Amino acid sequence: MDLTGKVIILTGVSKGIGRATAEALLARGAVVAGWGRTAPDDLQHERFQFFECDVRSEVAVKEAYTNTARELGEEIHALINNAGLGIAGPVDGFSSDDWHLMFDTNVHGMFYCTKAVLPQMRKQQIGHIVNLSSIAGTTGIEKMAGYCATKFAVRGFSQSLFKEVRNDGIKVTCLYPGSVQTNFFDDIPGTDANEHMMQPEDIAATIVYALETPFNFHIVDIEMRPLQPKK
């Protein structure tokens, strides 16, 4: 799909992968509706518009979608479900509130946003939904059971969804990045972000690549890993 002039909703736009993806999409000519709790610093562009939205609230998602359609037009060509967070800890000492926070953001938020855009995409008979899972969505990680559980859920949702909507011309792609040098690791004990990890721009470029594939096929799953991880 040629991204020029296409309206793309991007959640979790304020920093990290979301911010890098917004810049990559703008560079390809897209119109970006950035959804998030806080606006990205210093991102000023005629084709970027920020809409305050906490994806944990279905009411907030519906409002952001209504505002996006009003401001940018009814046609929504892609949704990138990027908003997410990870909290580490052993299962028997883990906060139930933190468990719910991760599911509310990583899983329920993805569902609310997807549910919001699908009727219009079905009407258009074209669209693309990109979901950000993780390597943690393919294998268990010690003291990351809650995060892994959410990312396994993203994987199952994505693989089911693509079979459900493919005949309506809607593509679904799920990404499984390994370690990326972002603030994600600020709250993960024992791991520090470093230059040997992938960069947010690497993930952004891959998302753009998936979006620009010809109409007759789509990439279902993409696993990404650093080439030379820190020993």
CA distance 206 to 223: 10
Q: Which residues pair with 173 in a beta bridge?
A: 130
Q: Which tens digit of pLDDT belongs to each residue from 158-175?
A: 999 999 999 999 999 999
> Domains (ranges, CATH) in the chain?
7-224 (3.40.50.720)
Interacting residues of 98 by C-beta distance below 8 A, sequence separation 6+: 87, 89, 146
pTM of the shown model:
0.94
Known catalytic residues are 147
Q: Which tens digit of pLDDT belongs to each residue from 18-67?
A: 999 999 999 999 999 999 999 998 899 999 999 999 999 999 999 999 99
